[in-house]
Amino acid sequence: MPEELNGLTVAFLVAPEGTEQVELTEPWKSVEATGGKPMLVSTDSGTVQAFNHLDRADTFPVDITLDDARVDSFDALVLPGGVANPDYLRTVDAAVAFVEGFFEAGKPVAAICHAPWTLIEAEVVRGRTLTSYPSVRADVRNAGGTWVDEEVVVDRSGPSTLITSRNPDDLPAFNAALVTEFAKARV
């Protein structure tokens, strides 16, 4: 991959446990491979517990907690899925405010699988077209978004570009789109 993200710092916001591991690690690798600096942001310090669907997987060290993270320190945001991860994050006011901050600042956001639950709680999907895991479809529509069944959707209708995908099978397209869109944000 070309060094398109050279110098960009990308926040990966995750709960203390419940993140779908591949939806964290594969976008992370894409950011690193293109010269970006991924940083793991969570509600608690220490490590986060990832999952392979319902089975415990690896743990990952937290780089910075939400208490210390500032939107202006990052160029873009990735929201990995897993059912428990966004379900927890949408109940944490600081996490919701962090997500809102990226949209208010016009910075790109990428969300996969169930992660649009956090976007819905942040009230940033109205008028946007996006995708998600199919079980989130009604939630997207009820929040004023247009849900489509596509492997990756790039919505540029607001000040922030929003990149969404449905599930781990869509990771190649999701990763390519987030690298392309995050690189454009630097310009």
Question: Would you say residue 51 lies in a domain?
Answer: yes
Q: Tens digit of pLDDT for each residue in 15-42?
A: 999 999 999 999 999 999 999 999 999 9
Question: Would you say residue 3 lies in a domain?
Answer: no
Q: Express as a percent the part of the chain with pLDDT over 90.
A: 95
Q: Tens digit of pLDDT for each residue in 81-100?
A: 999 999 999 999 999 999 99
Question: Would you say residue 128 lies in a domain?
Answer: yes
Question: Would you say residue 32 lies in a domain?
Answer: yes
Q: Which amino acid is at 112?
A: I
Split at pLDDT 50, 70, 90, the class of 121 is very high
Question: Would you say residue 47 lies in a domain?
Answer: yes
For residue 169, the domain's CATH number is 3.40.50.880
Q: Tens digit of pLDDT for each residue in 3-12?
A: 589 989 999 9
Number of domains in the chain: 1
Question: Would you say residue 14 lies in a domain?
Answer: yes
pLDDT value of residue 187: 56
* 113 included as an active-site residue: yes
Active-site position among 48, 113, 136, 177: 113
Per DSSP (E only), the strands in 46-176 are 47-52, 55-61, 64-65, 76-79, 109-112, 129-130, 146-147, 152-155, 162-165
pLDDT value of residue 1: 44
Looking at every residue in the chain, the average pLDDT score rounds to 96
Range of the domain at 41: 9-186
Question: Would you say residue 178 lies in a domain?
Answer: yes
Cα dihedral sign for 134, 140, 142, 144?
negative
Confidence (pTM): 0.97
Question: What is the C-alpha separation between 96 and 114, in angstroms, rounded?
Answer: 15
Question: Would you say residue 4 lies in a domain?
Answer: no
